[in-house]
Amino acid sequence: MHKKSRARTRRRRAHWKATPPLLVKCANSACSLPTPPHAACRHCGMYRGRQVLPPA
Tens-digit pLDDT profile for the chain (56 aa)?
Answer: 899 999 999 999 998 999 999 999 999 999 999 999 999 999 999 999 899 999 87
Quick check: is 31 in a domain?
Answer: yes
Quick check: is 4 in a domain?
Answer: no
Q: Which domain holds residue 50?
A: 21-56
Predicted local distance difference test score (pLDDT) of residue 55: 82
Quick check: is 16 in a domain?
Answer: no
- Of residues 44, 24, 47, the one with CA closest to residue 34: 24
CA distance 54 to 46: 9
What is the sign of the dihedral through the CA atoms of 40, 41, 45 and 51?
negative
Quick check: is 56 in a domain?
Answer: yes
Number of domains in the chain: 1
Quick check: is 15 in a domain?
Answer: no
Q: Give the type of residue at 55.
A: P
